[in-house]
Structure 1
Amino acid sequence: MSGDGGGTGNTAYGRKAFRRSTAHFTDRITADGRDGWPVEAGRYRLVVSRACPWASRAVISRRLLGLEDALSLAIADPLQDDRSWRFTLDPDGRDPVLGIRYLSEAYDRRETGYPGGVSVPAIVDVPSGKLVTNDYQRITLDFATEWTALHRDGAPDLYPQALRDEIDEVTAEVYEDVNNGVYRAGFATGQEEYEAACAAVFRRLELLARRLERQRYLVGDTITEADIRLFTTLVRFDAVYHGHFKCNRWKLTENRVLWGYVRDLYQTPGFGDTVDFDHIKRHYYQVHTGINPTGVVPLGPDLSGWLTPHHREELGGRPFGDGTPPGPVRAGEEVPARGRP
């Protein structure tokens, strides 16, 4: 998630339609180390912002799979300056493991003078201090398939082999119309461009609601990568996309199926306990000055509904399949009270 466009990877907007560039650093951390980066406990650090939906995918996946002991976590300030994501939440404004003030320093160690945006999620090699990857589309898939030797006992299969084609198809549609669609609407600079993007968002949400009316999860009867990717947009919908990005045909709370679905996930260990509504709201409303030049952060919406009964268990399904829920949130990684319902 880069400051100019509010998303992972480079973004561009202005007189032309919003577009999201692909990740520039696409090395993979794999079991066999074929790109030069072998899976190794304690070697890497995951840098995220709790404000960013793309980074939140990695935070949720890491927690569900139990990779906390193997892969440390750095949480950036939700507000950036022109030098990129900063570690002002840490003592002395430095990440305690990497020793840097700005994520851009890890990018510079990888490629001096890199002209693109500095984005999260990012995985940094601790010994060298170099960025390894900012490939937000691939990171969570590799967590699920390449990091298996370091998964916790009872970790769910988030990308089951038999369902991968269907997961890929669903996530591609969700990405185009929902994950990225809200940004196309929010950063539109023309009426027609905005209306087309906004219409596509709600058209896809309505199709998803029909699908989820008869099944608890998007693909199969357990939580998969598809649910993680949809959740990170839905959980931000009423707080920022409805007002800030003008995706306001209706609120998520007004759609019985989607509101029940996202509450079900929010109340599932590994999802809601990673969400910081304070970081989310402050980032979008204070960083996107082109959309909200005053920087005023709204008081609402009311968050108390997130903890109300959803009754989705009536549809069956097994959240973790043959596995088990993750344990308590790791000490030091808890979401502060001001960011929770």
Structure 2
Amino acid sequence: MPMSQGEYVRSPNRFDERITADGSTRWPVEAGRYRLAVSLACPWAHRSLIARRLLGLEPAISVAVADPIQDERSWRFTLDPDDRDPVLGITYLAEAYHAADPDYDGGISVPAIIDVPSGELVSNDYPQITLDLATEWTAHHRPGAPDLYPKPLRDDIDEINKAVFADVNNGVYRAGFAGKQEVYERAYHRLFARLDALEERLTDQRYLVGDTITEADIRLYTTLARFDAVYHSHFKCNRNKLTEFPALWGYARDLYQTPGFGDTTDFDHIKRHYYQVHTNLNPSQIVPLGPDPDTWLTPHGREQLGGRPFGDGTPPVPTADQPVATEVTNR
């Protein structure tokens, strides 16, 4: 991980080509052509799984799930027979990166969209991937799919996303991987100042922007889902637990109990990845048993705030390739 003056610096996304509906790029929208490589542990990849599920894109875009435990070559498909992804025929995600650029020597990250015929990585640009799923793949959305990035609300969504990314999504990493005390403290205070502001915002409204689920909710949820299980202890973000924020905890449970969120959340993969891969932070590699995942299924009472989760649409129905079961797992 790159560091500057003891501060964690997230690497830019090297592969940022887009898949478009109008033919303006070399990658056209085409059902069955692309495969989405994810880790169920990774919050950035988790976003794409939620969006894909909410929009009903499972028949159009297949998914490859990596082992939550990386080795020196990063993400690997050792959950599959013969340790190879059955569609791409590769053991390591790095093989798709090098098919796109044989000289690439940077980090290997998920989510990654791969062109199946060529085996080339198309994009690892996680912020744009979910936006394009919502706006470029509309011809393949299921009937009743929600509008996750409605045009009238895009400025507001972009604004809240920018703040949440800087202080929360990336903020927990800036705290957890800080190399100096003052750098850690700065990230810590920014994180909890933003969580306090979000707590206030969500006390009287069900969702972050408007009265339906949007891209903004997806981006915040994936960090909240990992907060008490990982970030509170492992990343030293321990002023408060998520469960000690009444509005945020209710909001997170509301989303978790909404199809598309809880059924793509795997606490086992999440905990094993962070606690067993980050040996600099957890040399023993012991994975904590708690928190109790059943608390995510307790009543949240957020319905009284109104709002319509899917707007004029409908919830997604279960599909054969859902990466995890519809109930929380802690295998």
Shared fold (TM-score, shorter chain, > 0.5): yes
Aligned residues: 331
In the alignment, structure 1 residue 242 sits paired with structure 2 residue 242: no
Instruction: Please give the residue correspondences for 1:8-27 in structure 2 after superposition, counting only pairs within 5 Å.
Output: 11-13=1-3, 16-27=6-17
Give the partner amino acid of 2:199: A
CA contact (8 A) 1:276 1:336 kept: no
Offset of residue 338 of structure 1: 7.9
CA contact (8 A) 1:46 1:72 kept: yes
User: Runs of 5+ in structure 1 lacking a partner?
Assistant: 1-10
Rounded to whole Å, the distance in 1 between the matches of 2:10 and 2:149 is: 25
Corresponding residue for residue 202 of structure 2: 212
In the alignment, structure 1 residue 195 sits paired with structure 2 residue 185: yes
Offset of residue 115 of structure 1: 1.5
Deviates more, 1:44-53 or 1:287-296: 287-296
Offset of residue 321 of structure 1: 0.1
Offset of residue 215 of structure 1: 0.4
Corresponding residue for residue 283 of structure 1: 273
Corresponding residue for residue 323 of structure 1: 313
Dislocated runs of 4+, deviation >3 Å: 335-338
Partner residue of 1:293 out of 283, 286, 305: 283
Corresponding residue for residue 297 of structure 2: 307
CA contact (8 A) 1:154 1:323 kept: yes
Partner residue of 1:252 out of 237, 242, 263: 242
TM-score, normalised on structure 1? 0.95
TM-score, normalised on structure 2? 0.98
Offset of residue 294 of structure 1: 1.2
Rounded to whole Å, the distance in 2 between the matches of 1:333 and 1:82 is: 25
In the alignment, structure 1 residue 36 sits paired with structure 2 residue 22: no
Offset of residue 271 of structure 1: 0.3
Q: 1:1-33 CA distances to partner (integer Å, 9 max, x unpaired)?
A: xxxxxxxxxx41375310012200000001013
Deviates more, 1:242-251 or 1:326-335: 326-335
Q: Secondary structure at the match of 1:124?
A: strand
Partner residue of 2:91 out of 97, 101, 118: 101
Q: 1:291-327 CA distances to partner (integer Å, 9 max, x unpaired)?
A: 1111111111111210000000000000000000000
CA contact (8 A) 2:263 2:328 kept: no
Corresponding residue for residue 61 of structure 1: 51
CA contact (8 A) 2:227 2:242 kept: yes
Partner residue of 1:173 out of 160, 163, 171: 163
Change (3 A) 1:332 1:255: closer
Corresponding residue for residue 4 of structure 1: none
Corresponding residue for residue 107 of structure 2: 117
User: Runs of 5+ in structure 2 lacking a partner?
Assistant: none
Corresponding residue for residue 7 of structure 1: none
Corresponding residue for residue 255 of structure 2: 265
* Identical columns (%): 68
CA contact (8 A) 2:33 2:117 kept: yes
CA contact (8 A) 1:45 1:71 kept: yes
Corresponding residue for residue 148 of structure 2: 158
Rounded to whole Å, the distance in 1 between the matches of 2:82 and 2:5 is: 40
Offset of residue 339 of structure 1: 2.6
Offset of residue 340 of structure 1: 4.5
